């Protein structure tokens, strides 16, 4: 098809002038090979939807990119991710909240996703990095066209402690339309999106819209009523977004589930809300199977006193991490 002349394409039923033009302008095989060699020289990995490293959460969205360009690395735990986004014109309050929330999420074992823009995005990446956690930056242009220039050092740090990602070829500069398109990947990679500061025309609201359409949770941080940069957040809260006052409001309210993740200390994590559990609650939960489990067996396996197990089972049930199968049995969800 790509070797056919425009006149030959025009004779094919269903192909109009616009599609003929697009096919004629498509990169040649030689151009593609040049891009691949360029990526390899700069340590950029190229993956497709058939690659084993392709992010599983993106396969769930309506329009997953067929090709991704990566610098850094993705790990299985990155499916446990939350995006933090907001305005480029952030206040000191917004920058502080973005950094604190990102650091708290990172310490809980959550990967922080954002778009490497100045303002809230950059503060979120830095907060995660400073806490020793992982972060993913989704770039609107190619990975050799980092914008803004002031964040190039931050991009290098992200690549060392997480991953830079783009669906654009390495040398393609960002254009206005590529930012909304990028935002669907920020939300698609995440279990939930936290908007810290955003005016009523902010691109962060586009990310929140993508999140809602993709079945992800939407959170918003309130601000001063007189702050224009908080208007978007307040509107999101009015429309049903979950209000955030601390990281517990995020971890405890995430409803989007992910595949079970093996934990370094043993056992597996099946729901993001488990990250908010204390040691005893986690111990009791790990003693409960995904098939009906006798309370007596939970007591024996966990080593927790009977009265503590009974009260903890009630807490876990309220958090929708387990359900009662009968009066004497429980099941991990």
Answer yes or no: is 283 within a domain.
yes
Domain check: are 164 and 296 in the same one?
no
Domain check: are 177 and 296 in the same one?
no
Domain check: are 132 and 174 in the same one?
yes
Q: How far apart are CA 55 and CA 188, in angstroms?
A: 10
Give pLDDT, residue 195. 98
The total number of residues shown for the chain amounts to 333
Q: DSSP of 199-226, one letter per residue?
A: -TT-HHHHHHHHHHHTT-EEEE----TT
Return the structure tokens found at 70.
């990566």
Which of 207, 234, 251 delimits the end of a domain? 251
Q: Which helix (H) or strand (E) holds 311?
A: helix 306-318
User: Where residue 199 sits, what CATH number does that domain have?
Assistant: 3.40.50.450
Q: How far apart are CA 75 and CA 111, in angstroms?
A: 10
Kindly give, in sequence order, each residue whose CB lies less than 8 Å from that of residue 167, ignoring residues fewer than 6 positions away. Answer: 65, 67, 68, 69, 181, 182, 185
Answer yes or no: is 89 within a domain.
yes
Answer yes or no: is 265 within a domain.
no
Answer yes or no: is 110 within a domain.
yes
Domain check: are 154 and 89 in the same one?
yes
Domain check: are 240 and 312 in the same one?
no
Domain check: are 18 and 94 in the same one?
no
Average of per-residue pLDDT across 19-41: 70
Choose between 19 and 33: higher pLDDT: 33
Choose between 2 and 214: higher pLDDT: 214
Answer yes or no: is 136 within a domain.
yes
- CA neighbor of 104 nearest in space, from 112, 116, 115: 112
User: Where residue 307 sits, what CATH number does that domain have?
Assistant: 1.10.10.10
Domain check: are 122 and 191 in the same one?
yes
Q: State which residues form the domain around 182.
A: 71-251
Answer yes or no: is 286 within a domain.
yes
Contact 186, 164 (CB under 8 A): no
Answer yes or no: is 82 within a domain.
yes
Tens digits of residue pLDDT in 276-296:
889 999 999 999 999 999 999
Mean pLDDT (the chain) is: 90
Answer yes or no: is 59 within a domain.
no
Domain count, the chain: 3
CA distances from 12 to 1, 7, 21, 22, 128 (A): 10, 9, 14, 15, 53
Give pLDDT, residue 252. 84
Tens digits of residue pLDDT in 101-158:
999 999 999 999 999 999 999 999 999 999 999 999 999 999 999 999 999 999 999 9
Which of 204, 233, 251 delimits the end of a domain? 251
Give pLDDT, residue 25. 59
Contact 280, 315 (CB under 8 A): no
3 pLDDT tier (thresholds 50, 70, 90)? low
Contact 214, 189 (CB under 8 A): no
């Amino acid at each position: 098809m790509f070797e056919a002349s425009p006149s030959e394409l025009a004779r094919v039923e269903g192909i109009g002038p616009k599609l003929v033009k697009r096919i004629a302008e498509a990169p040649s095989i030689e151009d593609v090979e040049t891009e691949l060699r360029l990526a390899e020289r700069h340590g950029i990995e190229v993956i497709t939807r058939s690659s084993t490293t392709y992010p599983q959460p993106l396969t769930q969205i309506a329009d997953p990119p067929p090709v991704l360009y990566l610098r850094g690395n993705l790990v299985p735990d990155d499916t446990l991710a939350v995006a933090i986004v907001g305005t480029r014109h952030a206040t000191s309050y917004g920058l502080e909240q973005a950094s604190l929330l990102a650091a708290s999420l990172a310490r809980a074992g959550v990967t922080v996703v954002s778009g490497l823009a100045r303002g809230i995005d950059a503060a979120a990446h830095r907060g995660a990095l400073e806490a020793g956690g992982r972060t993913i930056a989704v770039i609107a242009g190619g990975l050799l066209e980092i914008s803004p220039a002031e964040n190039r050092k931050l991009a290098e740090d992200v690549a060392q402690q997480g991953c830079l990602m783009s669906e654009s070829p390495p040398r393609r500069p960002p254009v206005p339309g590529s930012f909304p398109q990028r935002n669907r990947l920020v939300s698609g990679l995440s279990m939930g999106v936290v908007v810290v500061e955003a005016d009523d025309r902010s691109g962060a609201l586009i990310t929140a819209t993508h999140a809602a359409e993709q079945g992800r949770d939407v959170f918003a941080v309130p601000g001063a009523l007189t702050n224009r940069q908080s208007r978007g957040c307040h509107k999101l809260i009015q429309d049903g977004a979950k209000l955030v006052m601390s990281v517990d409001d995020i971890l405890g309210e995430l409803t989007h589930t992910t595949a079970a993740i093996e934990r370094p200390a043993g056992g597996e994590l099946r729901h993001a809300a488990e990250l908010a559990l204390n040691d005893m609650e986690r111990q009791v939960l790990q003693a409960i199977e995904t098939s009906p489990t006798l309370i007596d067996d939970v007591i024996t396996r966990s080593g927790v006193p009977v009265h503590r197990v009974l009260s903890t089972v009630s807490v876990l049930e309220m958090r929708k991490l387990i359900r009662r199968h009968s009066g004497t049995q429980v099941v991990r969800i």
